[in-house]
Each structure stands twice: as C-alpha cells, then as structure tokens.
Homo-oligomer: A and B are copies of this chain.
C-alpha cells in the first residue's frame, strides 16, 4: 500500500508546479510587467487557478486519495499509516476538503467578486469614500459566511475562516491569548507616553543606491541565498517562492525614509529564509509548505524586531551604516537604538511600532468577529472602527482612508487573516527566547554579526518541518510549551523598560 502514495504524490507535484508557475506570474506583475500587460495577465492567473482547482477536485485525485482516506470525513483508512504518513494524509485531505467543499459556481463568483472588490477598494481609499466600497464588502462578508458554512465548523463560524490561515486556532483560543494582553499593552503604552524620555525618529535624505547596497549586505549576512533567490523593488514589499531554490523578495526604497526600506528588506528576507529552508525533496508535499501564516510571520518578525531592532545587531552594523550614510557619523549606539524603537500610537497598522502593532490586530479581530458572528451591518463599520480606535489608542482617524479603508485584506476576502500577524509576534518571541537559550554566546554572536548561527537554528528547528506539525504542535516541539503571549510581553516590557526608563 505504501508504494501507492507515489501516485498521489505525483498528482500533488503537478498541482504544486501549477501554483509555482502562477507565483511567477504574480511576481512579474508586481515587479516588471508593463502597464498594459495586466489584462491578459489576470486572465492567465485565473486560468491557472481554475486548472489547479480542477486537478484538486478531479475524479482522478479523489480516486487516488480515496485509497487511503475516507474523502467525506478525512478518516484515515488504515492503521498502517502512522506518524509522518498519517500527518501527510491529514494535510492532503484538508486541502482537498477545502477545495471540494465549495461548489464550483461559488468559487467562480467569489473570484469575480474579489477582483471587482479590490478595484473598488482602491478607488474608495483614493477618494476617501467608504460608500464606494460598502456594497462589495457587504457581498464579500455574506459570501465568506456562506464559505464558512460550506466548509463547516463546530461552535463558531469565524473558526472556519481562521482555520484557513492558522490551523488549529479558534476564536476561543484567540480570546484567551488576546484577553490579558490588551490591558497589559495599553498599560505599557500609557507608561511610555508618560515617560520623561522623548525619542525621535531619524529624518533626512538617504541616497537610494546606498540604501539598496546596505540592505543587500544585511540580507546576505542573514543567510538569504542570492543564488537561490533575488530582491527587487515593488510598491508593497512581499515575498513569493517558486521553489526553495528560487525565492523572490521585494522591498521599496524611499529617499526620505531609510528605515522603511531596510526593515522591509529584513522582514521579507525572514520570510524568504523560511521558504529557502523548506526541504527540496518535499516540494509538492504539504511538508514542503510553510506551517501557517502565523509561523511565517514569526520568521519575518523575529528577524525584523528581535534582531533588526536590537542593540546587539547594531553593535556590528552601525559602524557599517556610517560608511554608507555619513549623517550617522557622530551618533552613538545607544542613541541610534532609541531612534529606531520609538513607540507612538498611530493610525496605520503597517507603520506601527512593535508595542502598538498587536493592538491594531486585536481591533480588526474584534470587528471581524462582529461581522461574521454578530451580523454587524457593514455600513456601520466606519463608526465602529473609530470607536475602537479611541478605545485601543485614544486617537481617532482623520479620514476613513487612514481608518477602516487602510488595509487591502477585506477586499481580497481574507477575513480571518489578521490574527496571524499577532500570532506571528507571539511565536517570534517564543522562538527567539529558545534560540537565545540554546545557542552558545548568543548575544555575543549577534554583536559580531554572526547571523548565520540563528538562521541555521531556525532551519533546523522550524523550517525543515514545513507543514508536518500544526502551529501549536510546532511551538511545543521547539520551545517545550504551548503558544503563549508571555515571552512576547516579557520581551516588550524589558526592552521598552530600558529604552523609556520605566
């Protein structure tokens, strides 16, 4: 029976190739595609996506998977399949089940709505007019409810959406994780606000090619393999992988915002190193895919924050930075460390510091829960958003563009995605704590720029498993205990206690 998994794996490999090809089309669209290339490009992406779906729910696939799994309920048909093989079949069935649970007509309609809705969102944000987006978002929320019903859930409809991004995570678990965190974060932010220490962000002009060179040096030192990947420019930084041997990063470079470009590069390289660290021999298998969106985000956050915004890291790199930008010449390490760690409640999630960031997520989580479970009318969103902003941050957006319209996710139908960003912060702190315990002379190594030690630790402890373990299983395996916000809060309280003299 074991030998027969080969046929199933062959079908999976074919689907993975289709996805990988589609990723190249996406990458090119965001980097080099000429303006007029978009129309045919989106048709080709849609074609590949429908081809993938056809293969996923084909009779051939059902027959092959059905040899090992009851395709209706996911039950493994033989005790012969234990450990890895069992996990393998569970993951394969899950993907099949998700694709198969949605009627083809529904999938097509959702895909059409997504494309229209994104365009409407762009326009609404540009014109600061929520009403242009509202009817499409209303339809989207309705369809996501239907999707959740098709997919199924035990107690909470929102769980069906969460499951797509963070397997095993439920509303109950999130309520538990977020519960205590909210008041502790708000308390910490209050203390920082009242601190007599006032730090300022570095301002000035930074030559674009020098920014590029410095960023490239850092990602290379981190261990991002430029023979198996590259970095380009795009409007919004992202990472996309075709295969562990071909992973593409993008960043943006703004002359007057050096930190934005640098931290985007480090962040994306964190994602990229994860993708390069998946095992080539698992390409096509779920074990060759990332564990979850949250685990992925933990890798980018860990490099960006725990490393990139640490004093240890800049001990090595500040002198090098000074070679690129003479304006830092007289700046001391302590002062520089403070300028890159300014905490300030702000309107825009993606520009938030690491203390306030998770509150932006909790706000969105509250709202998504209300939309999916409590039938909050979409037209009330701007009002609710602003009320929540006052509650979490004590500030109110000057416009919907800087408020409820700021993120692309809802227009894409990615409801249930946001919590993964916060989970990424928590996981990152857990992994980082463990790595710093397990790696000898960890601080010293980071101070010397020996970043590869950390990269190898992550390869060995996180990356190589791919999707074999559920996020919480992986955390337990690596750090010895379940997912928790404690290491994250401890990290924040210590770091910002020092910076703001609390």
Which positions in A face B, CB cutoff 8 Å? Answer: 14, 17, 20-21, 24-25, 28, 32-37, 39-41, 43-44, 47-48, 225-230, 232, 242-243, 245-246, 283
Contacts and interface: CB of A to CB of B under 8 A. Distances in A.
A35 to B, nearest CB: 5
B230 A39 contact: no
A33, A40, A43, A225 interface centre (most CB from chain B within 10 Å): A40
Contacts of A225: 36
A36 B230 contact: no
Nearest to A41: B246
Nearest to A22: B21
A189 to B, nearest CB: 42
Nearest to A18: B47
Given A36-B225, A36-B228, 17 more contacts: A20-B40, A21-B21, A21-B48, A24-B28, A28-B28, A33-B246, A34-B226, A34-B245, A34-B246, A35-B227, A36-B227, A37-B228, A37-B242, A37-B246, A39-B245, A40-B242, A40-B245
Contacts of A24: 24-25, 28
A229 B246 CA distance: 24
Contacts of A228: 34-37
Given A28-B28, A34-B229, A227-B36, A47 B245 contact: no
A219 to B, nearest CB: 13
Nearest to A39: B245
Given A24-B24, A24-B25, A17 B44 contact: yes
Nearest to A21: B44
A225 B28 CA distance: 18
A40 B17 CA distance: 9
Contacts of A232: 32
B36 A246 contact: yes
9 contacts: A17-B47, A21-B44, A33-B246, A34-B246, A35-B228, A36-B228, A36-B246, A37-B242, A40-B243
Contacts of A40: 20, 242-243, 245-246, 283
Nearest to A46: B17
A205 to B, nearest CB: 22
Given A37-B243, A39-B245, A243-B37, A230 B44 contact: no
A472 B17 CA distance: 42
A244 to B, nearest CB: 9
Contacts of A230: 32, 34
Given A14-B47, A28-B28, A47-B14, A245 B21 contact: no
Nearest to A45: B21
A19 to B, nearest CB: 11
Contacts of A28: 24, 28
